[in-house]
């Protein structure tokens, strides 16, 4: 079957599964035997609460990195959905008590968790809501609040678990729609599913990583304050990845520490299972890459992502638009095409500050010899006598190189670089009439 159609069908399947699991608690609510009827507004409020809770619990499945779920969409689409859906779930969950307060089904004073009159079920609900509010606030404003990523991630996990766990205790405490044993059993299954997901991400996956370590082979300085780290599987066969994909790297820590960082492969898939990442010094973790020595152990969880030429085997050519260290997945794809002696027309537009800061510049130059590849460097500070493009990757630059002929051809376009560059390029390509389905982006700034 056509690759794209297959992915669309897979995508639709998982959306239906998601919808079913989100609505399951409400469906169960309406199945007989039903408890005695109550006011519509109360039933409606409960339904919203159930849907919101199911969405929150399913967030753990979205971020558990199940490859089959992510493969039709790509990791960044799933994370984007994760972010947007959490806001919707939050809104539903906030409306749930408001609908009970307005017609005074419950007094607002029930929110006072310190009052001896407040029942435990309400205390659980309020605690869940506090955790959820903190979770959403920290996720939306992490950068303005200057919360360091690793610390944020730990709190994100704790608050999310607390929000869902207390909400489930609230449902148990209310005990209205789980009035018969089979409904209680179903609710227990939902809770076990949630705890199972926690076990999978926090225990099972780290354990698997511990059993499949990688040994550092080489750490090499690159242009643009970057380091290439080559690692080989230690005692196992390694992983099969598609060029352009990424993996989560753990170094200096055990996989149980949850201190991993995502990096694109910058190498082609190798027969010996070795992998290479090219990492720009940016913060606490990336600045330490140069401390790694041959024989050190690191852990690689992957591959992930949909950013790959291998998902478009029938393309007539490829265009790569990279800014800064966004060149890494492109170089992985170019090496792979060279390895396969693929002579389809390729265009690489590579923007950077100056020639000295263009990471993997020498490799790109060497690849020109082996591929049908045109490279356009766009330099902010060009050297004296530079004849090429200057400034940023603007509409003018794109129109000069992405000629109408290229637009007609069946080409796939890959973009990776700083967020402002990616947003600008995506906008221009849409204005130029490129089909959104042929334009693929990898955002290094997931959160
Ligand atoms: C799919 C993908 C592929 C990437 N590929 C590359 C690559 O090939 N080369 C490269 O140099 N960089 C790549 N990055 C970016 C890289 O992950 C971050 O630069 C790195 O994690 C920064 O960590 P730090 O502690 O050094 O910096 P910090 O100063 O702690 O973080 C800087 C920013 O990086 C992001 N970040 C930090 N830690 C994480 C984490 N654990 N998980 C997710 N995001 C994080 C946050 O947005 C943070 O604000 C990629 C990112 C993604 C999402």
Domains of the chain, by residue range, sit at: 3-209, 213-304, 310-442
Residue 72: predicted pLDDT: 75
Q: Is 209 in the pocket of ligand 1 (CB under 6 A)?
A: no
Residue 409: predicted pLDDT: 65
Structure confidence by residue, pLDDT tens digits, 333-384: 999 999 999 999 999 999 999 999 999 999 999 999 999 999 999 999 999 9
- Hey, CA dihedral for 141, 144, 161, 301, is it positive or negative? positive
Residue nearest to atom 6 of ligand 1 (CA): 263
419: CA distance to ligand 1 center in Å? 13
Which atom of ligand 1 lies closest to the CA of 259? 41
424: CA distance to ligand 1 center in Å? 21
Residue nearest to atom 26 of ligand 1 (CA): 283
230: CA distance to ligand 1 center in Å? 18
- 10 Å CB burial of residue 181 (0-12, 13-18, 19+) is exposed
Q: Is 282 in the pocket of ligand 1 (CB under 6 A)?
A: yes
Which regions in the chain score pLDDT beneath 70? Answer: 1-2, 404-409, 446-447
- Computed over its alpha carbons, how large is the radius of gyration of the chain? 25
How far is the C-alpha of 440 from the C-alpha of 350, rounded, in Å?
16
- The architecture of the domain spanning 310-442 is 3-Layer(aba) Sandwich (3.40)
Structure confidence by residue, pLDDT tens digits, 153-205: 889 999 999 999 999 899 888 877 777 888 888 878 888 888 888 889 889 99
Q: Are 364 and 374 within 8 A, CB to CB?
A: no
260: CA distance to ligand 1 center in Å? 9
How far is the C-alpha of 350 from the C-alpha of 178, rounded, in Å?
59
Identify the residue whose tokens are 């689409």: 77
Identify the residue whose tokens are 């209205």: 176
For the whole model, what pTM was predicted? 0.87
- The partner residues of 247 in beta bridges, in order of sequence, read 263
Residue nearest to atom 2 of ligand 1 (CA): 444
**Residue 324: cis peptide before it, omega within 30 degrees of 0:** no
How far is the C-alpha of 119 from the C-alpha of 173, rounded, in Å?
9
- 10 Å CB burial of residue 210 (0-12, 13-18, 19+) is middle
Residue nearest to atom 39 of ligand 1 (CA): 261
Q: CB within 8 A of 427, min separation 6: which ones?
A: none
Q: How far is CA 376 from CA 174, 191, 236, 346, 398, in A?
A: 64, 54, 40, 11, 10
Residue 407: predicted pLDDT: 61
Residue 187: predicted pLDDT: 79
Residue 370: predicted pLDDT: 96
Residue 170: predicted pLDDT: 93
Numbers of helices and strands, H then E, in the chain: 13, 12
Q: Are 368 and 231 within 8 A, CB to CB?
A: no
Residue nearest to atom 17 of ligand 1 (CA): 262
Residue nearest to atom 48 of ligand 1 (CA): 149
150: CA distance to ligand 1 center in Å? 11
Q: What is the CATH number of domain 213-304?
A: 2.40.30.10
- The partner residues of 315 in beta bridges, in order of sequence, read none
245: CA distance to ligand 1 center in Å? 15
151: CA distance to ligand 1 center in Å? 14
34: CA distance to ligand 1 center in Å? 50
Closest of 347, 359, 356, 348 to residue 381, by C-alpha: 356
The preferred substitution site among 286, 335, 363 for testing ligand 1, maximizing ligand atoms within 8 Å of CB, is 286
Which atom of ligand 1 lies closest to the CA of 75? 1
Q: Is 447 in the pocket of ligand 1 (CB under 6 A)?
A: yes
Q: Is 285 in the pocket of ligand 1 (CB under 6 A)?
A: yes
Q: Is 325 in the pocket of ligand 1 (CB under 6 A)?
A: yes
- 10 Å CB burial of residue 326 (0-12, 13-18, 19+) is buried
Q: Are 119 and 130 within 8 A, CB to CB?
A: no
Q: Is 39 in the pocket of ligand 1 (CB under 6 A)?
A: no
The preferred substitution site among 261, 301, 304, 322 for testing ligand 1, maximizing ligand atoms within 8 Å of CB, is 261
246: CA distance to ligand 1 center in Å? 12
Which atom of ligand 1 lies closest to the CA of 143? 49
How far is the C-alpha of 136 from the C-alpha of 143, rounded, in Å?
13
Helices (H), 285-391: 327-339, 361-370
258: CA distance to ligand 1 center in Å? 14
């Amino acid at each position: 079957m056509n690759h794209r159609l297959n992915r669309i069908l897979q995508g639709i399947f998982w959306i239906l599964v998601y919808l079913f699991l989100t609505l399951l608690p409400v469906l169960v609510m309406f199945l007989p035997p039903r408890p005695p009827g109550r006011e519509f507004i109360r039933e409606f409020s409960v339904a919203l609460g159930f849907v919101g809770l199911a969405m929150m619990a399913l967030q753990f499945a979205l971020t558990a990195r199940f490859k089959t779920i992510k493969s039709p969409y790509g990791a960044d689409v799933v994370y984007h959905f994760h972010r947007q859906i959490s806001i919707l779930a939050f809104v539903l969950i906030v409306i749930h008590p408001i609908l009970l307060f307005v017609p005074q089904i419950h007094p607002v004073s029930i929110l006072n968790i310190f009052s001896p009159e407040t029942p435990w079920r309400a205390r659980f609900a309020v605690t869940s809501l506090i955790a959820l509010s903190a979770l959403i606030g920290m996720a939306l404003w992490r950068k303005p609040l200057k919360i360091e990523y690793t610390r944020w991630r730990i709190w994100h996990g704790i608050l999310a678990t607390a929000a869902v766990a207390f909400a489930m205790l609230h449902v148990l405490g209310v005990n209205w729609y789980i009035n018969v044993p089979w409904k209680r059993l179903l609710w227990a299954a939902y809770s076990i599913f949630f705890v199972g997901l926690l076990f999978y991400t926090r225990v099972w996956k780290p354990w698997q990583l511990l059993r499949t370590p990688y040994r550092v082979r080489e750490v090499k300085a690159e242009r643009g304050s970057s380091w290439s780290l080559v690692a080989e599987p230690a005692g196992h066969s390694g992983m099969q990845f598609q060029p352009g994909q990424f993996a989560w790297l753990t170094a200096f820590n055990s996989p149980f520490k949850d201190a991993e960082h995502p990096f694109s492969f910058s190498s082609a898939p190798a027969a010996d299972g070795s992998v290479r990442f090219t990492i720009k010094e940016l913060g606490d973790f990336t600045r330490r890459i140069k401390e790694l020595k041959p024989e050190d152990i690191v852990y690689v969880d992957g591959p992930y992502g949909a950013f790959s030429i291998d998902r478009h085997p029938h393309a007539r050519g490829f265009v790569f638009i990279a800014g800064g260290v966004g060149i890494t997945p492109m170089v992985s794809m170019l090496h792979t095409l060279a390895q396969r002696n693929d002579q389809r027309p390729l265009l690489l537009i590579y923007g950077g500050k100056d020639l000295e800061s263009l990471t993997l510049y020498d490799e790109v130059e060497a690849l020109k010899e082996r591929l049908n590849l045109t490279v356009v460097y766009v330099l902010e500070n060009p050297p004296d006598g530079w004849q090429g493009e200057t400034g940023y990757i603007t509409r003018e630059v794109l129109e000069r190189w992405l000629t109408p002929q290229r637009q007609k051809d069946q080409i796939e376009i890959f973009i990776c670089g700083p967020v402002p560059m990616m947003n600008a390029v995506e906008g221009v390509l849409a204005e130029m009439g490129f089909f959104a389905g042929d334009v693929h982006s990898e955002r290094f700034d997931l959160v």
